[in-house]
């Protein structure tokens, strides 16, 4: 297995970014809320009339001390098999954070350099696949630009307030998946 590990350069992983929301390839969105002690998953959106979503994507946020762990669930909503390529651990997403009023908040992502392994993703009709990320999300209004010592801890430069998250997953061979979620740290 060691020969199958690849080291992804930090610049590549920074480009890949972070994603926390879910929706079909036609731009429909899903919403989620999360209380202080319970995991949350976005509810997949209904595609526009006359269009069938290929992959329904949801975001799961789970409390982890003073942070939240992130995972995605993909579901094949077609009658045929879907295939894609990704790297594990999964960091193939971008994340945007906005306040409840729509103001964009700074998300600090420390430089991430870790071994990754390529993997094929095969979704049979109706099948679901959970993609756990190594990323945790937390709030800190005084986080330095470097993000601190833990490259897996991404920081929202803000006091803990309800925020909207928009994530975009990038999986080779599949359409971009975009979703919205709400994180309420209260």
d(CA 62, CA 35): 10
Q: Look at residues 76, 66, 79 and name the one whose alpha carbon lies nearest to residue 150.
A: 66
Q: Which CATH class is domain 2-183?
A: mainly beta
| pLDDT confidence of residue 107 | 97
Q: What is the pLDDT of residues 14-58, one digit of tens each?
A: 333 332 223 333 333 333 334 444 445 444 444 443 334 588 898
pTM, rounded to two decimals: 0.72
Q: What's the pLDDT band for 160 if we cut at 50, 70, 90? A: very high
| pLDDT confidence of residue 153 | 97
Q: Encoding tokens for residue 32?
A: 């989620």
Q: What is the pLDDT of residues 166-185, one digit of tens each?
A: 889 999 999 888 877 889 99
Q: What is the pLDDT of residues 99-130, one digit of tens each?
A: 989 999 999 999 999 999 999 999 999 999 99
Q: Look at residues 112, 109, 92, 107 and name the one whose alpha carbon lies nearest to residue 165.
A: 107
The full DSSP string for 70-89 is: EEEEEEE-SSS-EEEEEEES
Q: What's the pLDDT band for 3 if we cut at 50, 70, 90? A: very low
Domain boundaries, the chain: 2-183
């Amino acid at each position: 297995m060691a020969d199958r590990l690849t080291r992804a350069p930090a610049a590549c992983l920074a480009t890949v970014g972070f994603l926390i929301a879910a929706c079909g390839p036609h731009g429909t969105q899903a919403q989620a809320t999360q209380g202080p002690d319970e995991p949350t998953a976005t509810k997949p959106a209904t595609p526009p009339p006359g269009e069938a979503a290929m992959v329904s994507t949801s975001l799961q946020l789970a409390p982890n001390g003073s942070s939240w762990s992130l995972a995605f669930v993909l579901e094949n909503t077609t009658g045929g098999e879907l295939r894609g390529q990704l790297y594990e651990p999964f960091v193939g997403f971008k994340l945007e954070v906005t306040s409840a009023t729509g103001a964009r908040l700074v998300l600090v992502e420390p430089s991430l350099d870790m071994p990754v392994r390529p993997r094929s993703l095969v979704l049979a009709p109706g099948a679901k696949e959970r993609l756990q990320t190594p990323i945790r999300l937390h709030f800190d209004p005084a986080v330095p630009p470097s993000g601190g010592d833990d490259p897996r801890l991404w920081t929202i430069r803000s006091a803990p307030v309800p925020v909207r998250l928009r994530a975009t997953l990038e999986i080779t061979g599949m359409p971009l998946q975009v979703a919205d979620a709400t994180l309420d740290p209260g």
